[in-house]
Structure 1
Amino acid sequence: MRRLTYLIPDNFTLSLVGTVIFASLLPCRGETAVAVNWLTNIAIGLLFFLHGGKLSREAVVAGATHWRLHVVVLLSTFVMFPLLGLALKPLVAPLVTPALYTGILFLCTLPSTVQSSIAFTSIARGNVPAAVCSASASSLIGIFLTPALVSVVVTNHAATSGSGWHTVGAIVMQLLVPFVAGQLLRPVIGPWLDRNRRVLKFVDQGSILLVVYTAFSEAVNEGLWHHLPLAALAGLFFVNAVLLAIALGITTVTSKRLGFNREDQITIIFCGSKKSLASGIPMAKVIFASQAVGAVVLPLMLFHQMQLMVCAALAQKWSMRDARAERSQPAGAQQH
């Protein structure tokens, strides 16, 4: 029964599904859409401001010296994934629509997650300080690298909202500037955020739900569901499963072949195989034209839930295996 609980979507995933349904039934239009869009931009800026205030510089410095591990994670995130997205095109193209394939390529260019990568690394008894550093560095580098990668791997430039430099500038102003401001004000707001983590969670999830609602409202107004057959959704599920399995396999084999210890292997697997929903949806809003965002973020939303379920099961399995190994050791060996 405990294993079956990993197959049950969490409350946030259910909220995402509910938001998509609500936007499909009652999409915002006209002046309401303009107002909701402004509210969404403010929420995104606040989100990255609070993330900047929350991120501990000490924790990042503690893991920053492990450069070999960080290089492997960054190469997995920003090189392996885009190459996989391009290499899988012969398999993917017949199964999904062109818009969904654009979303898969966009998914492949995104940075790693922060919170869940660290949480799963901790559960599986991996190198937590290194996970904090790798995931945080991936998130920051992604602000600049993701739009550049999108301009290279996504050939449907008509779906983007502007030139590469314009996109980078928009992301810097909307995401990086608030983040840096939060870092600078961390001595002031950091202790309060540490005591009130629910505030950050509320803004985090609330801003994503707002972006999803506005994105799907625009997409529905443009006829998204009329141009998206059920067969394409089934194909998207299969493609995401294949992509996640390959990423987990490559990071597992690579980390072993490079001689990393078990704790570092766990960190590489969890940080190098995951993609950030929290960063991806706001970026999609900036990078892509409004009518294209709904279809573009569908692969990311599905991949997000799949990676959470699979990595949660792996983390629990590895944690229990280590616990059994410790119990089977002689008392003297455990003390040693």
Structure 2
Amino acid sequence: MPIDPYIVLLLGTVGLAALLPARGVGADVASGASTAAIAFLFFLYGARLSTREALDGLKHWRLHGTVLICTFVVFPVLGLAARGLVPALLTQPLYQGLLFLTLVPSTIQSSIAFTSIARGNVPAAICAGSFSSLAGILLTPLLAAALLGNGGGGFSADSLVKIVLQLLVPFLAGQLLRPWISGFVTRHKKILGFVDRGSILLVVYTAFSEGMTRGIWHQVSVVRLAALLAVEAVLLAVMLLLTWYGARALGFGREDRIAIQFAGSKKSLASGLPMAGVLFGAHASLAVLPLMLFHQMQLMVCAVIAKRRARDPEETPDPARESAADAVQGQPQHRALR
């Protein structure tokens, strides 16, 4: 199973923060640069997302609704159920991080990549990931306010305003300027990709530096980390099974089930890290640890699943089933668009 090179960079950034944490004026500079970098990151997201593709994607509303329910309903319910593992397996801070993980939107890039490898519905995966990320800008902080409360680092209306200003406003600005800058963004896609990843590394360094200076890492033991990995493995397995067999029970075809499984079972590190910085403050380094571990786990497991799905025989279409599905999907679709 592959190790994502970017995860190696993330771990190296954590090691750098442990050895040379930003302090004093350096911490203030790193925090300001991190905020600016994340705002620019979401500006690029807005510039890349085609408004026409997003509107076309609304035609497949059942698939996108299923992914959103998996991401923002089923995942949080499982996160709340894990409360029973405290304090036997998880400490309260680790549980808060695990619960926050379940509130984060889905990924875009890896969902598309794995769906493509598995010969699934790639356009649906693109739209599902994009819709999830956009919805998460508002839903994640609102769910955090309801489920984490003050345990989430003191969530308040001010936290929501900060998230909107740092994430949603730049995203909308990118959408508005897309007609003029989309060509530049497309031509320099590779270079801007380094900006994406560099922004996340800067956020990680800032969060873990603050955690080191405040002594937060003394709260975590090797046994607790092993327990956290085991809990996350179960969480991922449950979501992979639910998204695959649940989508089949709902009448989706093979290509759609693949898109639902990969978009509905994963969580976005790029969206989760900046939100954690606002919601958890000084405790962000410990709060994002479950998300970082889950991110690598989902990449490794989904890479194996995608390769196995790619070897599946082509599904023979059932005309009667397709006609029934079209009839079910067609009428509500017009009401939803109105």
Shorter-chain TM-score above 0.5: yes
> Which amino acid is 1:115 matched to?
Q
The aligned residue for residue 122 of structure 2 is 128
Superposition pairs of residues 1-336 of structure 1, within 5 angstroms: 7-91=1-85, 93-155=87-149, 157-163=150-156, 165-289=157-281, 291-322=282-313
CA displacement at 1:254 relative to structure 2: 0.8
CA displacement at 1:194 relative to structure 2: 1.1
Q: Distance in 1 between matches of 2:12 and 2:92?
A: 25
CA displacement at 1:224 relative to structure 2: 2.3
The aligned residue for residue 4 of structure 1 is none
Distance 1:93 1:249, change over 3 A: farther
Q: Distance in 2 between matches of 1:284 and 1:60?
A: 27
Number of residue pairs aligned between Structure 1 and Structure 2 = 316
Equivalent position SS for 2:90: coil
Contact 2:216/2:283 (8 A) holds in 1: no
C-alpha offsets along residues 130-177 of structure 1, whole Å, 9 cap, x if unaligned? 11111111101100100111112225x1542441x2222111100111
C-alpha offsets along residues 34-60 of structure 1, whole Å, 9 cap, x if unaligned? 011111111111111111111122322
Q: Distance in 2 between matches of 1:93 and 1:275?
A: 25
Equivalent position SS for 2:21: coil
CA displacement at 1:63 relative to structure 2: 2.1
> Which amino acid is 1:160 matched to?
G
CA displacement at 1:316 relative to structure 2: 1.2
> Which amino acid is 1:318 matched to?
R
C-alpha offsets along residues 215-247 of structure 1, whole Å, 9 cap, x if unaligned? 011111111222211111111111110110011
Q: Distance in 1 between matches of 2:272 and 2:223?
A: 25
Q: Which runs of 5 or more structure 1 residues have no equivalent in the other structure?
A: 1-6, 327-336
Q: Distance in 1 between matches of 2:300 and 2:86?
A: 23
Q: CA RMSD in A?
A: 1.5
The aligned residue for residue 330 of structure 1 is none
Q: Distance in 2 between matches of 1:28 and 1:142?
A: 30
Identity in percent: 53
Contact 1:73/1:271 (8 A) holds in 2: yes
Contact 1:44/1:175 (8 A) holds in 2: yes
CA displacement at 1:9 relative to structure 2: 1.5
TM-score by length of 1: 0.91
> Which amino acid is 1:242 matched to?
V
C-alpha offsets along residues 85-130 of structure 1, whole Å, 9 cap, x if unaligned? 1112223542122111100000000110011111111111111111
> Which amino acid is 1:65 matched to?
K
